Every structure is written in C-alpha cells, then in structure tokens.
Amino acid sequence: MRYRTRVTAPAAALLGTAAVLVAAPAASARPLALRPDEGTPGAETLGDSVFPALGNDGYRVQAYHLDLSYDATTRLVDATATLMIRATQDISRFSLDALGLDVRAVQVGGVAAAFEQVDEKLRVTPARTLPDSCAVAVCVEYGVDPAKALAHTAWVPTPDGFAICPQPNSAHTVFPCNDHPLDKADFSFRITVPNALRGVANGRLVGTEKLDGDRTAYTYRSGSPMATELVQITVGDYVVKERQGPNGLGLRDVVPTARAAALEPALALSPGLIGWLEQRLGAYPFETYGLLPCNSDDANAFDFTGLETQTLTLYKPNFLLQEEKKIGSHMMHELVHSWFGNSVSPANWADLWLNEGHADFYGLLYRYERGWADSLGMTTMEARMKDTYAKGDQWRRSSGPVAAPNAVNLFDDQRYLGGVLVLYALRELVGEDVFNSIERTFLARYRNSSATTADYIAVVSEISGQDRSGFLNDWLYGTSTPRMPNHPDWTVTPVVSSLVAPHHRAPGHYPDSTATL
C-alpha cells in the first residue's frame, strides 16, 4: 500500500510566502504573469567547470520543502517537493535537475504546468511566462525507488530503510532541485514512516505527528541555508541521543538502536572536537551537530568512511567502533566541513580544494598535536608536508593543478593533501597569526553563501596587506611545484611515468583520499 501525505505547515508557509514575495518588487507595474510567447527559457546549466551540465539558470531557489513517505513493505518513497523560486529573467520555461524520479504532476503558482523529463533535466513550462524578479511556488509530485539502478545515485538502501549521500552531483536523484552549491536555499522536511522506524533530516526536529495506519510524520527545519549536496534524509530503526556541546550547543546523534551502547565512546568525542576547532575557526556555525552511523555494514553500500551533510555526518558504523587514535583525526576532518564546505560552500566544484584541503589541514594538526602517527608513520606536519612536497610535480602531471580538477580526478589526493600543502605554504609565508586571521575573515565574510578560490585569494591579500595572488596562483594553478617558503632544502622528485599516481574515481563517488584516516 502506498501512503500519500497531506500538505503540512512548512509547505503551507512556503506557499503563503509566495504572495508576499511576488508583490515585493514594486518598481514595475508589469503584470505578474506574461503571455506565453514572452520571455525565454532559462539555461540548463550554471556553467560549472567540472560538471557543466549541473544546475540551471533563469531563477534561484529560495526554499525547499520535501515531503517524503516511506513504505516499508514496498521499500518505495512517495514524495512531493515544493520549491519557492525567484525568476532572474522573464522566463518562459525553466528546468530542474532530476534523475530516476517518476514525476506525476507539476504545478507552478498552483496552476498545472507542462513538463517533460529529458536526460537529467525536468523541463517545466508554466501556463504563463514568469516575469523577472517574481517569486512563485513550484510543486512536483513524484515517486522514487531507492534501489533503482542509475548512472549515479545518492540513495543508500539499508536493511531497515535508507540514507542518502548526495555529494557531489546526486541530490537530484532524491528530489528535483537546482543541484549546485552556488544556489543555496532554506530547507524543511516532513518524513512519514511506520511507527517502528524513525525519519531524520538536517536541522532541528520541529514537529512529530501520529497518523492513522500506525505511522508517524517527523518534521525538520534547517536554521541556515544549505546546498543540495549537503541534504541528509534517513529512515531506520534509530535512537536519537542528545548531549551538551561547548557553549550551550545542543548535539544529537542518530544511532542504530542495536548499536547505541557500542558506539557511545565515539559519539562522546564530539564535544571535545568542536571545542578544539572553535578555538581556531570561531563558533560552530549551525544549530546542532551529530553523527549518523548508517545502519549498513555492506562494503558496497557507499565507498567512503564519512561524509559531511549539514549538521549530521554520515559514517560507516564499524569505523566508529575503533579506538580514538584510529578515528579522531578523521572525525575532525568531517567536522571541519561544517565551516569549510557547509557554511561556506564552493561556488564551482573546481573550488573543492577549499573544502578538502582545510579539512585535512586541521585534521592532521589535531592528529599530530596528540602524537598519533599518520598512515606513513609520521608525527609532525612538517614531515608530512615535506613528503607531500616531493610528490608535487608527479601529482600535477597525473591529477592536474590543485584548483583545476575535472570530473574524473575531482576527489584525488591533489584536492586533499595537495590542498593542505597550499595552506601550509601560505602559513609559512605570512605567519601563523596572519594565517589564522585570514581563515576567520574568510569564514565570516562568506558565511551561509558560496565562495570561489578567487574570493579566498582576495581575502589573503587583504588581510596580509600585500598582493598574494601571484604566489597562490602559482601554487593552485601552476604545472610545477613552487619553492616552499622557509624550506629552501626541500626538493621535488622528478616526474617518472612509473610512479604511482593518485587514484581516479568515477564522478559521483566520494573516496577516502583524506590523509586523516
């Protein structure tokens, strides 16, 4: 039996807000709905250099409300996605990213709209052209099979439900969206499940409703804008464990009920990790944090150890059963993403090094501060960076410059350890105090938005009081490794074709390239 859910308060709030937003641009007396032959279709791309087909233009999304109902018998999901969009041009047709979704109906402003699914796009033609700056609710009804075989997917089926891992380009296999971190939006969720299961999503739980048929609806709302790739929706036999973090921060972990006791030592590490990082990067940027050990031991369920989703980090449960020195550095890596990657998202996927370089940088600092040897047996940042520096030209040959990836090598070591090497070189150049000021300024300036590598370089130049663009462009885009400040004795190993290159991963896969494992 399939269960349909009714429109809930968050969705109604989105729809009610539409009238206010539509009326807001009062500078023009133009009608709010133009003739069908006016305007032009929005572009079906946001021009990303790594994923050029990803994202859509002609509008921006202001908010999403996702209403999902899970049937434990069929293991299918019935859903409605309500998007509040604002046109950025006179738009006669617009598209959403969508793959593997069985779309049944689309409404724009409460009126049925024509639609078609072509490749990974859902093309929507409203009854009337939408004028520039108008805001309107777009409602998409659809069904989806989490186990459906696709070219790439965010779904992780588990014995008792599912979780999702959207990064980098697979959120649109879960819900229709403008699937690019450049277009961040507010999110709310309603997840309806059998009473024996629990539905969880990003943000805070704001409502629980008992329904007929022994089902419960859980409603969540994110307190900050979010990129689509950071969405988490999970269903399973979970218990939610709450604890106190530093400075009054409330933490919540979503844990398989049968493993709650065994996982407690790992969960208890979060307050200390957050406190250490707040001393360096400032206050934690969101309303809560926690871990989600996904209820699956299947080695093929997902090909990573941990994945940052906003306010909730997805993990393989068995990884977290290890002793602290085996997991603490990687837990720090994922936590750093709350600042670099989540609060400040990449404006282009070529900017990934900002996320992963910073996550490994602080993860390694945390490791070495505690005297834990890394995978190469090294116990200091200087030793690890000297080793990485020697590989610089080889990595640039096999994986491209640090800030110039493609879809095949996006998650290679070059974006992780190569990014750490860039940050290390910068700190050596400007000194630790200036470096720390650069980090905090960048995070404060671009909080809740997206930023480019050029934005980071501009902050570096501003805070250091000198134009550092040449220095950083050489490190980030050069085909040979620059000299390391303060280390004239460091040498780069000549390129030899037989040397092992960083592993290439297929698009849509998030590997364990991190050095913090």
The per-residue pLDDT for 13 is: 46
User: If we measure between CA atoms, which residue out of 43, 225, 31 comes closest to residue 134?
Assistant: 31
Torsion over CA: 243, 245, 248, 253 (sign): negative
First to last CA, the chain: 44
Residues 202-241 as b or e (16 or more Cβ within 10 Å = b): bbbbeeeeeeeeebbbbbbbbbbbbbbbbbbbbbbebeeb
Tell me phi and psi for residue 149, to 5 degrees: -75, 125
Contact criterion met (CB below 8 Å) for 335 and 438: no
Mean of the pLDDT values across residues 475-499? 92
Contact criterion met (CB below 8 Å) for 65 and 17: no
Confidence band (pLDDT; 50, 70, 90) for 32?
A: low
What is the distance between the alpha carbons of residues 273 and 246, in angstroms, rounded to a whole number? 10
What is the distance between the alpha carbons of residues 408 and 20, in angstroms, rounded to a whole number? 44
DSSP secondary structure of 414-432: HHHHHHHHHHHHHHHHH-H
What is the distance between the alpha carbons of residues 141 and 487, in angstroms, rounded to a whole number? 60
Contact criterion met (CB below 8 Å) for 179 and 171: yes
Instruction: Render pLDDT for 407-434 as a digit per residue (tens, 0 to 9).
Output: 999 999 999 999 999 999 999 999 999 9
The per-residue pLDDT for 163 is: 97
The per-residue pLDDT for 19 is: 36
The per-residue pLDDT for 502 is: 53
> Over 50: is that where the pLDDT of 286 sits?
yes
User: If we measure between CA atoms, which residue out of 142, 344, 152 comes closest to residue 230?
Assistant: 344
What is the distance between the alpha carbons of residues 56 and 54, in angstroms, rounded to a whole number? 7
What is the distance between the alpha carbons of residues 421 and 423, in angstroms, rounded to a whole number? 5
Residues whose CB falls within 8 Å of the CB of residue 403, separated by 6 or more in sequence, listed in order:
350, 351, 353, 453, 476, 477
Q: Which residue has the tokens 């501003």?
A: 462
Confidence band (pLDDT; 50, 70, 90) for 297?
A: confident
The per-residue pLDDT for 121 is: 98
- Around Cβ 22, how many Cβ atoms within 10 Å? 19
Confidence band (pLDDT; 50, 70, 90) for 248?
A: very high
Between the alpha carbon of residue 424 and those of residues 38, 194, 384, 431, the distances in Å are 54, 50, 11, 10
The per-residue pLDDT for 177 is: 98
DSSP secondary structure of 69-117: EEETTTTEEEEEEEEEEEESS-EEEEEEE-SS-EEEEEEETTEE-EEEE
Tokens representing 117?
A: 């699914």
pLDDT > 70 in the chain, percent: 90
Mean pLDDT, rounded, of the chain: 91
pLDDT > 90 in the chain, percent: 86
Mean of the pLDDT values across residues 156-174? 96
The per-residue pLDDT for 296 is: 86
The per-residue pLDDT for 7 is: 35
